[in-house]
């Protein structure tokens, strides 16, 4: 049965809370370039998008975006493990999911940083594949990240679920032809997620239990 099912997880807002690390890294980056840091709510509203898109949305000129991304990543890597926590019941969700399915991570975070975080949290060994921003040309909501994960797993879209916390996750799942299950533990509101026409649950554990039936 395990080989017949696949569960893919988003990371931020689905399994982990790295809000503190993200906000501090943006503050450091804007300070590095002697720019005022945008309000926290403007930054958190962009979480889930690729970093380059986040900086563009926060007013950084396109010519300067990648310099900002480089500064951000260097600082984030220094602080991320100390300032990132597992969301409530996330560990149980992963453990129970591993009993019924093959697991993967599909995130817009940098994959190598995500691996370091999950190794620090003693969860990486549950996952067979990690698809990060550097692994695709088109990030979520494009279907490419999910399809890339399935290709690496050498499986198809049958009996596959994508668990995430934003409409980008759900749109990516829909376009890839897999079932999306949304969680309200992260950055998307319940009303936004319901508008995506997907299953909506409280957290990753509830999502996994809905798959277990």
What are 119's two structure tokens? 């190794």
Residue whose C-alpha is closest to residue 167's, from 149, 157, 181: 181
* CATH 1.10.3080.10 at 19-79, yes or no: no
- 52 tagged catalytic: no
Q: What is the mean pLDDT of each run of 10 residues along the chain (213 residues)?
A: 79 96 98 98 93 96 98 96 96 97 96 94 97 96 97 92 95 96 90 87 96 82
Architecture of the domain made up of 2-17+85-212 = 3-Layer(aba) Sandwich (3.40)
Q: What is the pLDDT of residue 1?
A: 39
Q: What is the pLDDT of residue 189?
A: 83
Contact 105, 131 (CB under 8 A): yes
- Distance in angstroms (rounded) separating the CA atoms of residues 65 and 56: 7
Given 10, 12, 17, 206, the catalytic residue: 10
Q: What is the pLDDT of residue 91?
A: 97
Residue whose C-alpha is closest to residue 187's, from 6, 40, 30: 40
Q: What is the pLDDT of residue 157?
A: 86
Q: Where are the domains of the chain?
A: 2-17+85-212, 19-79
């Amino acid at each position: 049965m395990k080989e017949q099912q696949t569960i893919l997880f988003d990371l931020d807002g689905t399994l982990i809370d790295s809000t503190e690390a993200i906000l501090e890294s943006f503050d450091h980056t804007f300070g590095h370039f002697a720019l005022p840091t945008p309000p926290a709510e403007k930054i958190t509203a962009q979480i889930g998008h690729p970093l380059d898109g986040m900086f563009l949305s926060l007013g950084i000129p396109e010519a300067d975006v990648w310099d900002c991304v480089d500064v951000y990543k260097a600082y984030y890597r220094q602080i991320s493990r100390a300032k990132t926590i597992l969301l409530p019941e996330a560990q149980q969700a992963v453990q129970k999911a591993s009993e019924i399915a093959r697991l993967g991570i599909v995130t817009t975070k940098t994959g190598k940083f995500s691996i370091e975080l999950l190794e620090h949290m003693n969860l990486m060994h549950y996952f067979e594949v990690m698809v990060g921003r550097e692994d695709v040309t088109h990030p979520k909501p494009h279907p490419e990240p999910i399809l890339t994960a399935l290709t690496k797993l050498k499986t198809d879209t049958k009996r596959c679920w994508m668990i995430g916390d934003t409409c980008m996750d759900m749109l990516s799942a829909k376009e890839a032809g897999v079932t999306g299950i949304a969680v309200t533990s992260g950055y998307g509101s319940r009303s936004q997620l319901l508008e995506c026409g997907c299953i909506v649950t409280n957290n990753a554990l509830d999502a996994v239990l809905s798959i277990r039936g």
